[in-house]
Structure 1
Amino acid sequence: MPLSLAPIAPPLSLHYLSREGGPHPAALGAVQFGGTPQPDCALQIATPLLGQATEALELWHTDQPVRSGTLGLLHYAMSDDLLFGAICIPDTDSDVGQYPGGGYDPLRPSLLQQASEQVYLAVFAALESLGYLHLLRVWNYFSDINTDTWGMERYLQFNIGRQDAFRKMARPFLVDAPAACALGTHGGGLNVYFLAAKVPPLALENPRQVSAYFYPDQYGPRTPSFSRAALATLPGQRWLFISGTASIIGHQTQHAGDVRAQTEETLRNIAVLLTQANRAEDSQDWTLAAVQYKVYVRHVADFGVVRAVLDAQLPSAAVRIYVQADVCRDDLLVEIEATGCLPVPSLPEKTP
């Protein structure tokens, strides 16, 4: 007799949707890009969409029962297998100034640095309190990411606060750090959302690149705390979270000023991470067609070139949305993240 298995309610699915399509299914978490803030979204990210749409929902859906609540500033929703959380500290946009005499004073952290530490301490406290101990993926958005204030670029300030929280909570900020991205917005404060699980993911790195957490000192007093990608296993599913990826080889930006070449280099880095995922799973399942893409373009004028490159190199059915946002280095013109879900291979049938 074949082995009979009860159907598993899908733990998670990802959809990029337009509000123009009418009502949407209840979500584990929903984030809006562009448009007017809506009360049914965990966060509204002040990044205009590029193309015909004016706003889009990033909808994380589950067929499992969902319980939601708040822990301080953090809003969360959880199923049996996953935790979605979101937090915003709205007043970080006003954090502009310089210390007397210039330079950076580590004893007087900026508001953004303090906010990023506060956010991550709140995230880790929620993981401990709710029992989902392992971060899978984190998204970070804040304004003026490349602007120098208080003696240091704001992205570097954010990295200090983030890593200080990782250190205080004894969380892995080098090897086994979660997949992540950090993008610049048109305001809206510091917005962070995340997915966490009860089972740890497998962190992946790109052999073409120095791991971000091992960057040399020229990238700030604290290195970025993220892995290039992460593989996560949920009941019946395999998830691949590819972090924000750009035109970097080793630790250096490639093709400065050339958005076409940067986009092509970024796709090569994504292809390498797909290969790394296949190697980790001893499969050939992860392909360019198996993931969805969120594409961040610094300059609106570059959108046509970026889209043309992706249209030429990605399968036509591959879902992708385009967002106008600043990238974490001022010489990077495009960044792409990718997320995919595949079924767990079925068990062979048992015979008597």
Structure 2
Amino acid sequence: MVPANPWRAVWLSDHALVAGRHGQVAYRHDDELMYGVISVDESAFVDTPSASALQQAAEFAYREVFAALAHAGFPGLLRVWNYLPRINEIENGVERYRKFNIGRQDAFAACGRALTGRVPAASALGVRHGALEIGFFAVRRALLAVENPRQVSAYHYPETYGPRSPTFSRAAVSSSMVQDVLFISGTASIVGHQTLHHGDVAAQTRETLVNIDTVLAEAARVAPLLSPAREDLACLGYVRDPADLERIRAEVRRVIGDETQVCYVQADICRTDLLVEIEASGGHPTQGARS
């Protein structure tokens, strides 16, 4: 059942917006920030011995995104949201998220994009069915990528997590004429490259919040002009099992209080042993309901 008042995130601009479409990417932008979306149905592709349909769909989608960025003059891919059907499902012995990572990285390489270092912040979440959906922000200037000293950078993960590493940074900062904005990628209970607190959603939530604090501190170190406090963040929490929501919410309130704005949605997460993931953004005004 769809709730009567579903949650939405709306970004507002004081400037006139230009709407456009390039290939399969629809977008809008002002002088500083571009938002775009693409939907690719993997049923349009056929599994081959060298590439699954999802891998091909992911590579196609990202090639389309990079072509649209070049067309619109926004080369700095800043923040990406990836929604994959059945993200944790195993097909022919390989998890679908890992197949997606191959296609994503192939597109980055084919389009001359960095595979490490200055790569966008991102989240990858699972939905039950439908197309591969990607939303993104891009900027005209180069982004500043931020890593977490407690974690191995995702693009340096060992092959234990798949034949290709995920291509994203722990956070990204955009500098513009108007303001600097911080985007923290989907963050979970990972230290080094390993999941901690298996089966304990409260402990995973606490570890996730420590990681967010660590990324905030690192962002303040590398971008001194941008140092949003934790209570100034807008957070989105992804909950694998709706039955865990109250325990997650209680831990968030206990650790960071009621000042930080948090909304929750149900979604599968990129590792089956992760029960909660939280992303955040800061450096911009917010309004709306709190946790």
Residue of structure 1 in register with 2:93 after alignment: 151
- Give the drift of 1:69: 1.7
Alignment RMSD (CA, Å): 2.0
Deviations, residues 261-317 of structure 1 (Å, cap 9, x unaligned): 000000000000000111113368322112100000000110110011111122423
1:163 aligned to 2:105?
Answer: yes
Q: What SS class does the counterpart of residue 192 from structure 1 fall into? A: strand
- CA 1:264–1:95 in 2, change beyond 3 Å: closer, same or farther? farther
Deviations, residues 204-259 of structure 1 (Å, cap 9, x unaligned): 00010000000001111110000000111122211000000000000000000000
Report if aligned partners of 2:123, 2:186 keep a CA contact under 8 Å in 1.
Answer: yes
Q: Distance in 1 between matches of 2:89 and 2:15?
A: 43
1:322 aligned to 2:273?
Answer: no
1:259 aligned to 2:201?
Answer: yes
Q: Distance in 2 between matches of 1:77 and 1:149?
A: 36
Tell which structure's C-alpha radius of gyration is larger: 1
| Amino acid paired to 1:137 | R
Residue of structure 2 in register with 1:68 after alignment: 19
Number of residue pairs matched? 285
Report if aligned partners of 2:228, 2:283 keep a CA contact under 8 Å in 1.
Answer: no
Q: Distance in 1 between matches of 2:226 and 2:267?
A: 33
Q: Distance in 2 between matches of 1:283 and 1:121?
A: 33
- Give the drift of 1:120: 0.2
- CA 1:288–1:162 in 2, change beyond 3 Å: closer, same or farther? same
Q: Provide structure 1 residue ranges, at least 5 long, that are not aligned to the other structure.
A: 1-33, 36-48, 100-104, 344-352
Q: What SS class does the counterpart of residue 218 from structure 1 fall into? A: helix
Residue of structure 1 in register with 2:37 after alignment: 86
Residue of structure 2 in register with 1:282 after alignment: 224
Question: What are the residue-to-residue correspondences of 1:229-268 with 2, within 5 Å?
Answer: 229-268=171-210
Residue of structure 2 in register with 1:58 after alignment: 9
Residue of structure 1 in register with 2:289 after alignment: none
Q: Distance in 2 between matches of 1:342 and 1:315?
A: 20
Q: What SS class does the counterpart of residue 8 from structure 2 fall into? A: strand
Residue of structure 2 in register with 1:302 after alignment: 244
Report if aligned partners of 1:74, 1:85 keep a CA contact under 8 Å in 2.
Answer: yes
Q: Distance in 2 between matches of 1:158 and 1:81?
A: 30
Residue of structure 1 in register with 2:158 after alignment: 216
TM-score, normalised by the number of residues in structure 1: 0.77
Report if aligned partners of 1:277, 1:286 keep a CA contact under 8 Å in 2.
Answer: no
Report if aligned partners of 2:23, 2:68 keep a CA contact under 8 Å in 1.
Answer: no
Residue of structure 2 in register with 1:137 after alignment: 79
Deviations, residues 162-212 of structure 1 (Å, cap 9, x unaligned): 000000001012111100010001222100010001111110000100000
TM-score, normalised by the number of residues in structure 2: 0.93
Q: Distance in 2 between matches of 1:122 and 1:281?
A: 31
Q: What SS class does the counterpart of residue 195 from structure 1 fall into? A: strand
Q: Provide structure 2 residue ranges, at least 5 long, that are not aligned to the other structure.
A: 286-291
Residue of structure 2 in register with 1:341 after alignment: 283
Q: Distance in 2 between matches of 1:316 and 1:327?
A: 25
- CA 1:67–1:336 in 2, change beyond 3 Å: closer, same or farther? same
Q: Distance in 2 between matches of 1:223 and 1:285?
A: 29
* Matched-pair identity in %: 47
